[in-house]
């Protein structure tokens, strides 16, 4: 065993970056299955990314969204409309989404500027993170003409891979789109019934 001594807490904290420590082990070990936990991706991010600057994640996401979409446009040659709009279903205005950007009616973009570990996780797994999956599906459930959603990831703190996007196609998701659209319609009917009972 090697012992390293430190004069101050800042140096001690810096020395822990990118290492599996006792307090982090619970975020690494997978008891069932063979997936990876967030701690795994945090280790990679700590070794690749510049340190977070303490900016509020929501503020950071909003600030970088425009850059992310501009980068997508530059790399793909697609002209993205980023007007502030809300899309609503033709048959039910209560089923809606606010797209980050769209290219006509058949293509759209959703941009995420996540924590570096989440960014790395999405890149290595090539999957939309679970917490955003239904948001991605909603694009297709609202706009029946939408064929493709480009799900953009941007984190300038990771110079090695600061930008990438996943392409989601309606044709690959049609069963889920139908199932969750039906679920939404049923939910709205239930809500309407309850509201009507309580207001009349």
Domain assignment present for 129: yes
Q: How far is residue 162's CA from residue 86's CA, in Å, rounded to a whole number?
A: 29
Which pLDDT tens digit goes with each residue over 34-61?
A: 777 777 767 767 767 666 666 676 777 7
Domain assignment present for 123: yes
Domain assignment present for 184: yes
Number of structural domains found in the chain: 1
Domain assignment present for 12: no
Which pLDDT tens digit goes with each residue over 167-189?
A: 999 999 999 999 999 999 999 99
Domain assignment present for 138: yes
**Whole-number pLDDT of residue 13:** 73
- Average pLDDT, integer, range 181-200: 90
8 A C-beta contact, residue 37 and residue 30: yes
The residue with greater pLDDT, 78 or 52, is 78
**Whole-number pLDDT of residue 49:** 66
Question: Could you tell me which residues come within 8 angstroms of residue 73 by beta carbon, excluding any fewer than 6 positions away?
Answer: 79, 80
Q: Is the pLDDT of residue 153 over 80?
A: yes
- Overall pTM surpassing 0.95 (yes/no): no
**Whole-number pLDDT of residue 40:** 72
**Whole-number pLDDT of residue 28:** 65
In DSSP notation, 113-142 reads: ---HHHHHHHHHHTS--HHHHHHHHHHHHH
Report the CATH number that the domain containing residue 116 is assigned in CATH: 3.90.320.10
Q: How far is residue 50's CA from residue 73's CA, in Å, rounded to a whole number?
A: 25
Name the residue range of residue 147's domain. Answer: 57-199
Domain assignment present for 101: yes
**Whole-number pLDDT of residue 50:** 66
8 A C-beta contact, residue 105 and residue 170: no
Domain assignment present for 170: yes
Domain assignment present for 51: no
């Amino acid at each position: 065993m090697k012992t390293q001594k430190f004069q101050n807490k800042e140096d001690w904290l810096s020395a822990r970056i990118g290492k599996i420590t006792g307090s982090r082990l619970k975020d690494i070990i997978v008891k069932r299955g063979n997936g990876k936990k967030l701690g795994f991706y945090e280790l990679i991010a700590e070794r690749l990314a510049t340190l977070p600057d303490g900016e509020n994640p929501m503020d950071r996401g909003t600030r970088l969204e425009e850059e992310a979409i501009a980068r997508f446009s530059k790399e793909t040659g697609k002209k993205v409309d980023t007007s502030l709009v809300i899309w609503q279903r033709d048959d039910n205005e209560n089923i809606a989404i606010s797209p980050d950007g769209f290219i006509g009616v058949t293509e759209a973009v959703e941009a995420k500027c996540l924590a570096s570990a989440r960014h790395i996780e999405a890149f290595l797994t090539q999957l939309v993170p679970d917490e955003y999956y239904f948001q991605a599906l909603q694009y297709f459930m609202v706009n029946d003409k939408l064929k493709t959603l480009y799900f953009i990831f941007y984190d300038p703190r990771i110079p090695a891979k600061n930008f990438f996007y996943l392409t989601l196609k309606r044709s690959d998701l049609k069963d889920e789109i139908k199932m969750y659209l039906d679920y939404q319609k049923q939910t709205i009917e239930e809500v309407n019934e309850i509201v009507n009972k309580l207001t009349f």
